[in-house]
Amino acid sequence: MRKIDGDGKTIRELLDNSKYSIDYYQREYKWGKKQVQELINDLTQRFLEDYEVSHERSEVENYGHYFLGSIIISQRNGKEFIIDGQQRLTTITLLLMFLNNKQKSSPEKVSINNLIFSEKYGKKSFNLQIEERIPCMDALFHQQEFIKDGHNESVNNIIDRYSDIESMFPEEIDEQALPYFLDWLLENVHLIKITAFSDDDAYTIFETMNDRGLSLSPTDMLRGYLLANITDEDKRRRASDLMKTLFQRMMENGQNETSDFFKAWLRSQYAESIRERKRNASPGDFDRLGTEFHRWIRENDKKHIGLESSDQYYHFIEKDLKRFGDLYLRVRDASINLQEPYEDLFYIAQIGFTLQYPVVLAPLTTSDSEKIVSKKIRMVAAYLDILLARRMWNWRSISYSTLQYSMFKLMREIRGKKAEQLADWLKNKLNEEEERFITNDGFRLNQMNRPYIHWLLARMTDYIGTSCGQESRINEYLNLSNGKNIDKFEVEHIWANHYERHLDEFNHPEEFNEARNRIGGLLLLPKSFNASFGDLPYSKKSPHYFGQNYLAKTLDSRCYQNNPKFKHFYEQKRLPFKPYNKLTLTELRERQHLYQEIAESLWNPERISNILSEPLDDKLLKEDV
């Protein structure tokens, strides 16, 4: 029998001065935003459970450990080829590159270059050395721009996932905590490296691990437990068929969809506690329902849910599980596919905010009518849309780890509220916030927030267009339209990057860049437009803005002529639109103020009241409000 090795490795041991390749026939790098977010959340939350500011770095050795799974390697001709695990190894490499870039300004650095690339005979090569990916990996490592057009799926996904890591990484792991996190990641995160010395053996291991003897999932175990408590055979069969049908519908959205449903539903209705942010704190309901909901149900079915008799278990499936399963699918589908009247769910999903699912389900009850359900979903989604947009505008993180505690408190507060109470509570909560769009006139583009700037500009641009009678183009603005020949939209600076053109207003290039990057000096325009006119002085390219979207064309005086719908819109909303023949610093500040006012108009808490006040056709439903 040929030799097969299995070794436990830390991240450092696995990657330090090592080289891995994949064969040409291997599948592409396919991880999406959801998988990356789950990995970042798992790693950072596990670290933050032990981290304390007062700790010495040596104390990290005593922090808890995290198991990242196994990888399968085929070793031949002196090289190691990844048979299974390239998705995780690629993502870990991207995370290390991001952390390496993040720590460049830190006085206390952790040496991790050898985990990303190695050097031999004066030539550098990445430890995950895949020829077609080298240019994009090199650009990310050196924080240089990389144009995705014309590249394969793996390259485009690598660029997108690195951007996701930038936007998702929690602000709690700041400059002081960063070296601690890196120490923990390299020394306390483990994988099993399984090495075979032939491809046949490697693929046999892979197939065995994936096709045989699979352990039951938490969903399978919970399903079995609930059914086992139903003694009536006919009811047990009906309950089983109901769950089977429901789970099949969920699986159309992805392999982990049923698990995601249970986490969202049970957290929304039953979580009463959450782990405190201190060392050795016990996990609360919220935490356990995210990792072991099947065990939590077994331990809390009587205490928290009130399940004792066979009929109660049956009705729990037939009424609660079925109803919330259908509601979850409605919310999930609206998050994936833009549809009226649930547009906010779609917008929120585009910035990767997965906590929207339990929050939106929290106020719903099994006795709510369809119209009340719709109102509640839309009001909570509007609240989240406004809250997240405000946070982005005010340099606040919207990462999972940053917001999970406040979202837990929100869920608990709005759980089961009637529609009128819910509307008042959500609106009052927003009105109590001190940070709004108008309070931050310095909001600008930086290396970390480009995806959020793009999202904000897309929303604002589409808001003006639809308010003036145009059909929504939000999918185009967010670059979600299908087709290879679509002219993608990019964030463009109104001022070209030529400091020498503005010497009369700025004493230093940094002052110029700060002003140039303010959101009021940005537009969302097709890539072809940027390529043709982006470098021109404002006076020469401004006439071309008239042929673009409303946010751009308002710079040109022709937009204000014979345009009654636009005039009605900006006068009704009291928005200070005006054309500019030239764009000096004074005018750019005016434009910044305009954008602040547009954002205040678009993300206005009155949206919640408007949803509540929409008429109900059935008079009987008024009692539900």
Question: What is the tens place of the pLDDT at every residue in 536-555?
Answer: 999 999 999 999 999 999 99
DSSP letter (8 states) at residue 320: I
d(CA 519, CA 456): 9
Each residue's pLDDT tens digit, 224-271? 899 989 999 999 999 999 999 999 999 988 878 999 999 999 999 999
pLDDT at 105 over 80: no
Contacts of 93-97 with C-beta under 8 Å, sequence gap 24+, read 93/15, 93/126, 93/127, 93/128, 93/137, 94/140, 94/158, 94/161, 94/162, 94/165, 95/39, 95/40, 95/43, 95/165, 95/185, 96/15, 97/137, 97/140, 97/141, 97/162
The pLDDT of residue 214: 45
- Assess contact for 247 and 258: CB atoms under 8 A: yes
User: What does the pLDDT average to over 353-361?
Assistant: 96
d(CA 47, CA 188): 9
Each residue's pLDDT tens digit, 260-292? 999 999 999 999 999 887 777 788 999 999 989
- Assess contact for 451 and 167: CB atoms under 8 A: yes
d(CA 399, CA 173): 12
The pLDDT of residue 623: 40
pLDDT range class, residue 618, cuts 50, 70, 90: very low
Using DSSP bridges, classify how beta strands 123-126 and 522-526 pair: parallel, antiparallel or unpaired: unpaired
User: What does the pLDDT average to over 372-377?
Assistant: 97
d(CA 564, CA 392): 33
The pLDDT of residue 440: 96
- Assess contact for 285 and 273: CB atoms under 8 A: yes
User: What does the pLDDT average to over 164-178?
Assistant: 87
pLDDT range class, residue 200, cuts 50, 70, 90: low
Residue 539 φ then ψ, to 5°: -60, -30
Question: Largest Cα–Cα distance in the chain?
Answer: 85
pLDDT at 24 over 70: no
- Assess contact for 243 and 321: CB atoms under 8 A: yes
The pLDDT of residue 431: 96
DSSP 386-418: HHHHHHHHTT----HHHHHHHHHHHHHHHTT--
User: What does the pLDDT average to over 518-535?
Assistant: 93
Count of CB atoms within 10 A of residue 362's CB? 26
Q: Which residues pair with 490 in a beta bridge?
A: 525
DSSP letter (8 states) at residue 104: G
Residue 492 tokens, joined: 């463009």
pLDDT at 160 over 80: yes
Each residue's pLDDT tens digit, 364-374? 999 999 999 99
Q: Match 């919207």 to its residue by tokens.
A: 398
3-state helix, strand, coil split of the chain in percent (to 5) is: 55, 10, 35
The pLDDT of residue 550: 96
pLDDT at 624 over 70: no
d(CA 429, CA 440): 19
- Assess contact for 263 and 289: CB atoms under 8 A: yes
- Assess contact for 271 and 284: CB atoms under 8 A: yes
Each residue's pLDDT tens digit, 460-508? 999 999 999 999 999 999 999 766 567 899 999 999 999 999 999 999 9
d(CA 55, CA 53): 6
The pLDDT of residue 385: 98
d(CA 364, CA 611): 16
Residue closest to 157 by CA, chosen among 36, 289, 306, 307:
36
The pLDDT of residue 544: 94
pLDDT at 25 over 90: no
Determine which of 85-99, 313-327, 417-431, 585-599 has the lowest per-residue pLDDT on average. Answer: 85-99
pLDDT range class, residue 120, cuts 50, 70, 90: low
Residue closest to 193 by CA, chosen among 318, 67, 357, 60:
67
pLDDT at 143 over 80: yes
The pLDDT of residue 418: 97
The pLDDT of residue 622: 41
Compute the mean pLDDT over every residue in the chain, rounded to the nearest whole number: 89
pLDDT at 122 over 70: no
Which pTM was predicted?
0.82
Q: Residue 179: which residues within 8 A CB-CB, separation 6 or more? A: 57, 103, 106, 108, 109, 110
Residue 454 tokens, joined: 């793009």
pLDDT at 170 over 90: no
The pLDDT of residue 53: 87
Determine which of 216-220, 510-514, 563-567, 598-602 has the lowest per-residue pLDDT on average. Answer: 216-220
pLDDT range class, residue 10, cuts 50, 70, 90: very high
DSSP 179-200: HHHHHHHHHHEEEEEEEESSHH
d(CA 81, CA 335): 38
Q: Residue 604: which residues within 8 A CB-CB, separation 6 or more? A: 386
Encode 417-427: b = buried (16+ Cβ within 10 Å), e = exposed.
Answer: bebeebbebbb
Determine which of 6-20, 24-38, 336-350 has the lowest per-residue pLDDT on average. Answer: 24-38
pLDDT at 432 over 90: yes
DSSP letter (8 states) at residue 549: -
- Assess contact for 545 and 553: CB atoms under 8 A: yes
- Assess contact for 315 and 235: CB atoms under 8 A: no
Residue 400 tokens, joined: 């999972």
pLDDT range class, residue 3, cuts 50, 70, 90: low
The pLDDT of residue 141: 87
Q: Match 């650095």 to its residue by tokens.
A: 109
d(CA 379, CA 25): 48
The pLDDT of residue 199: 60
Residue 310 φ then ψ, to 5°: -60, -40
d(CA 263, CA 292): 9
pLDDT at 213 over 50: no
Tally of helices (H runs) and strands (E runs) in the chain: 29, 8
d(CA 599, CA 588): 17
d(CA 6, CA 4): 7
Residue 542 tokens, joined: 């401004």
Residue that wins the pLDDT comparison between 448 and 393: 393
d(CA 24, CA 39): 26
pLDDT at 625 over 50: no
The pLDDT of residue 208: 56
Determine which of 21-25, 139-143, 617-621 has the lowest per-residue pLDDT on average. Answer: 617-621
The angle formed by the CA atoms of residues 412, 294 and 269, to the nearest 5 degrees, is 20
The pLDDT of residue 1: 42
How much of the chain, in percent, has pLDDT values that exceed 90? 62
Determine which of 126-135, 294-303, 408-417, 574-583 has the lowest per-residue pLDDT on average. Answer: 126-135
Encode 516-540: b = buried (16+ Cβ within 10 Å), e = exposed.
Answer: bbbbbbbbbbbbebbeebbeeebee
Phi-psi region of 236 (alpha: psi -120 to 50; beta: other; left: phi over 0): alpha
